[in-house]
Amino acid sequence: MVASSFLPVAIHRGELYFLFGKEVERDSMPGFSDFGGRVEPNESILDAGIREFAEEITGFLGNETQLRKQIQKTGCLKYVYEKHKYHIHILPIAYDESLVKYFNASHQFIHSKVPTEELKKYSLFEKTELKWFSVKELENTDQFREFYREIVQFLLDRRREIRAFLKPRKTRKA
């Protein structure tokens, strides 16, 4: 299976942060991971990543069209974790604690009001919680989905490159 994902990253107070989502408790592999999933037949790797990201972030960062525009504006850094045929798109965003606060509150409310069996019918509620992780926090992988723990190390090994990608690009004056 080929999979594609997006991982929002930011610089906050001089430190590199990664935004991860926690899988719903009903999932067979609980814990945090990025936002992604299977590439469907006749779907490009990028399109699959955007579709999965939009679904799992439930519009909090935009719909597919808006996310595509942001990617065109900021670019993304792509890695392939060959062991799992897992394509990871690093997406620079602004660090925002409000995003986490409002996403988590919204999803707690939904999960308290809608029966789990009903939620299982929709792919929009796969994540129940967002959390920003610093590089130091990533060193303890216990909070992550089991398959994703190797990918966390893969990302940690590339943190300097990711950080360099996030540095503001200088533009020429006309």
Q: How many domains does the chain have?
A: 1
Residue 108 lies in a domain: yes
Predicted confidence at residue 173, as pLDDT, reads 43
Determine the pLDDT at residue 27.
57
Examine residue 136 and state whether it is found in any structural domain, yes or no: yes
- Domain of residue 98: give its range: 3-166
- pTM of the entire predicted model: 0.90
pLDDT for 124: 67
Identify whether 174 is part of a domain: no
DSSP type of residue 123? S
Distance separating alpha carbons of residues 174 and 171, to the nearest angstrom: 9
Q: pLDDT > 90: what percent of the chain?
A: 71
Quote the pLDDT of residue 144.
Answer: 93
Q: For 105-132, how does the pLDDT look when each residue is reduced to its tens digit (9 = 90+)?
A: 998 898 888 887 777 776 667 788 999 9
Tell me if 47 is assigned to some domain.
yes
Those residues with Cβ within 8 angstroms of residue 49's Cβ, 6 or more apart along the chain or in another chain: 4, 5, 6, 36, 87, 89
Does the residue 172 lie in any domain?
Answer: no
The yes-or-no verdict on residue 86 having pLDDT over 90 is: yes
Condensed to tens digits (0 to 9), the pLDDT of residues 21-55 reads 998 765 566 799 999 999 999 999 999 999 999 99
Cα distance between residue 31 and residue 34, in whole Å: 10
Q: Which two tokens stand for residue 129?
A: 């919680």
Please check whether residue 54 lies inside any domain of the structure.
yes
Which CATH number is 43's domain given?
3.90.79.10
